Structure formats: C-alpha cells, structure tokens
C-alpha cells in the first residue's frame, strides 16, 4: 500500500526568515501527497492513470518543442529548459523528473469556488544560468496570477523531484552510471533555494518540499486538482522517509554534506 501524507484541517506553513505565517482556512485542506513505486501503488496506479486520462488531464511535457508549448499556452524559454502550465481547473501531470524539479500550486478561485492550479517542470542547471531571468519572470507571473485569482488563505504549494547525488556510482535503468562532478548536488541545492525564495517573496510563506531522491531514478507526478492530491511515482525500492521538508532542511542537508566532504565535525 502506498504511503500518504495526511491532510490537516488547518496547517500553518513554516515561518522562516521573519516572513508572516500563512494559515489555510479551516475548510481548506493542504495538498495531500501519495507516493510509492508501481508495486506499492498496485491496482490503484491503473485506476489513477485511467482517471487522469478520462478526466482529460493536461500533460505538462518538458520534452515537447517550443511550438507545442505555445499551442498549450505554457510559459517556457525553448525546449528542454522549463515549462509552466496555465492556471486552470484541469488535472495535470509530468514525468521523467530525474534532475528536474516540479512546482505544484493550488488555490480556490474567487469567482467559482473551484480549485485552480498550475504545474511546472524545470531543469535546475537551465534555470540557474542561461534561462534564469525569463524563468523567474514567468514563475513570478504565475504566482501573482494565482494570488490575485484565489481567495485568501487557500493557496498551498509543493516542490517535488530533484536529485541529491554526490559523486559516485549509481544504477539507472539497470545500468551503472558514474557521477564525477559535484554540480548535480550544487544545482539541486541552489535551485531549491531559488524556487523557495521566489515563492516566499511572492506569496509570503515558504513552500513545503518533498524530500529529494538519493538514487538516479525518474519521478512521475500526477495532480488531482479537485481533491488537491499529488501522486508521486518513484521507481525502485527507495522510498521517501520524511513527509515534507522545509527550505531550511534542504539547506542543512547541503551544509552537512559539505562538512562531511571537507572533514569538518560538529
């Protein structure tokens, strides 16, 4: 059976760096995250996939070309950089999150009372360098639009995916992969900081982060908009041990790794 992060009637997002606490309204539950591998989801995975197909779920395909992104009205800066869906009531999904991360954000529309959401898929090394400013402009635009369109105290947000892979040997699709550079770790840490700061500056609270992978496996993410439910499919035996973590947790993860690498003891 898959593991589930239970919802609470009222949840307060973490109040880091002096930012105001944001409390979800008592009738609005936080995003529920269900995660597991194909075996753990079992027959339910088939049900989930059928549900998403039958509901007309929007595929946020990172690997589509720029023309397809434009047709779907996705924000992007060319192929293989980043893609951010429109804000709407549709279910959404994206796959093959290896190094890439995804942002899922949802609020309650002021006009209709329905959940509205967007989902992104971005490559850390692209949004940290060449495509940084365009990405930040597009992400801030989506966050501001969600804030403007949503009722107060109804917005929740998650950062999903990414790899924390220090140099070493890993298995990927039954093959051995050797990572020699520390850039993977640094890109993950720096991109989480960038995403977290942008979200905090735009919405006034920190996002919750689903713990990164420590093996070379691709995540698949489905978002059930109506029920505020994320399904995270992660191949293999590695499972997430924490429910969600804060930007500070990720920062400390990086600091501990750097201290261990340099032989510093605390």
Domain map (residue ranges) of the chain: 3-261
- Which CATH code of 3.40.50.460, 3.30.1330.200, 3.30.300.30, 3.10.20.340 fits the domain covering 3-261? 3.30.1330.200
Q: Which of 35, 90, 97, 32 is nearest to 61 (CA)?
A: 97
pTM, full prediction = 0.85
Phi, then psi, of 142 in degrees rounded to 5? -65, -45
Mean of the pLDDT values across residues 203-210? 93
- Give residue-wise pLDDT tens across range 144-194: 999 999 999 999 999 998 988 777 766 665 666 676 678 888 999 999 999
Model confidence over 72-100: pLDDT tens digits?
999 999 999 999 999 999 999 998 898 99
CA–CA distances in Å: residue 213 to residues 16, 61, 97, 119, 184: 24, 21, 10, 20, 12
């Amino acid at each position: 059976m898959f593991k589930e992060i239970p919802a609470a009637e009222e949840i307060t997002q973490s109040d880091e760096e002096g930012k105001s606490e944001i409390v979800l309204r008592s009738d609005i539950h936080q995003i529920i995250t269900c995660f597991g591998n194909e075996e753990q989801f079992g027959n339910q995975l088939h049900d989930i996939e059928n549900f998403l197909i039958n509901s007309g779920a929007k595929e946020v395909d990172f690997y589509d070309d720029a023309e397809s992104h434009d047709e779907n009205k996705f924000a992007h800066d060319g192929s293989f950089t980043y893609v951010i869906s429109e804000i709407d009531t549709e279910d959404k999904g994206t796959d093959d999150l290896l190094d890439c991360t995804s942002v899922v954000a949802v609020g309650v529309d002021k006009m209709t009372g329905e959940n509205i959401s967007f989902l992104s898929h971005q490559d850390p090394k692209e949004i940290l360098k060449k495509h940084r400013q365009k990405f930040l402009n597009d992400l801030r635009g989506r966050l501001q639009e969600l804030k403007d369109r949503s009722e107060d105290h109804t917005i929740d947000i998650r950062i999903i995916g990414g790899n924390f892979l220090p140099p070493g040997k890993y298995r990927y699709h039954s093959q051995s992969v050797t990572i020699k550079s520390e850039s993977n770790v640094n890109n993950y840490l720096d991109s989480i900081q960038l995403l977290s700061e942008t979200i905090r500056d735009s919405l006034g609270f920190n996002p919750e982060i689903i713990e990164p992978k420590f093996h070379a496996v691709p995540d698949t993410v489905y978002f059930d908009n109506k029920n505020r439910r994320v399904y995270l499919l992660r191949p293999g035996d590695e499972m997430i041990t924490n429910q969600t973590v804060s930007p500070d947790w990720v920062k400390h993860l990086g600091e501990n790794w750097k201290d261990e690498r340099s032989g510093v003891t605390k």
